[in-house]
Amino acid sequence: MSYVDMSYGDLLGGLITTDMEAGNYTPLTEATFLILLSLAHKPKHGYAIMKDVRAMSKDRVVLSTGTLYGAIRRLLEQAWIERLDTTLEEEKSEASQGRQRKAYVLTRLGSQILEAEIKRISGLAEVARLRTAGSRA
């Protein structure tokens, strides 16, 4: 990837070199965390993110369309995610019928912030596990 091809989020991600710097953006709200997590492995369009967030949280976090797009707008502005110009593989048949949905993907910066948040939560969970194990013993 040349610098010309890199997005703003990728460039910012390149500038953030340590976990500590990415950790400055954490803790994330639950909705933001779940949206980023939903995009961790592959790009998704709005409705797929909505369903994924609901499934991951076991129906606890149900995003409305307005809340989802409010979050998407902020994440795009912060360059944590970006819009994908290409059509997703599973949507090629829809695109050929004139329906082109916009997909979103994590930028390098978004990935680093997500990783930092996962580390933070894991660290907390580890401390909690040790403490509760100690009290039981």
Partner 1 sequence: MKTTSCWPVILYARMLRFYPPSFRAEYEEEMLFVFSQAVAESARRGKAALAGLFLREALSWPRELLVVYRDWLAGLVNNEISPRVEPAWNSKLESGKRDPMDPKNKNAGWSVHNRRQALLAALPPLLFGLGIGISWLVIGRQWQSISRLQLYAGIGAGFLAAAVIAVGALFALLKGLPDWGYMWVGSALLGFVLLLQTAAEELAESGLYHLSAGGETAVEILILLLFLAFLSISAWRGWQCAGMASIGMSSILAVSLYHVVAVPPLNRPDMAALAIPYGALVAGLVYLFLRRSSTLWQAAALLFIGLVNLAAVMTVDTAWQALLDTGKPFPILPFAGIISGLLLAGPLLSLAGRPVRRRFRRE
Residues in contact with partner 1 by the rule CB under 8 A: 45-47, 50, 62, 64-70, 72-73, 77, 99-102
Based on CB atoms, which residue is closest to partner 1, 63 or 113?
63
Based on CB atoms, which residue is closest to partner 1, 16 or 49?
49
Shortest distance in whole angstroms from residue 45 CB to partner 1: 8
Residues 6+ apart with CB under 8 A from 115: 19, 22
Residue with tokens 């990783």: 115
Instruction: Indicate the helix (H) or strand (E) that contains 32.
Output: helix 30-38
Based on CB atoms, which residue is closest to partner 1, 44 or 108?
44
Angle between helices 30-38 and 108-136 (to 10 degrees): 120
Shortest distance in whole angstroms from residue 25 CB to partner 1: 17
Q: Which of 84, 136, 77 is nearest to 109 (CA)?
A: 77
Shortest distance in whole angstroms from residue 65 CB to partner 1: 5
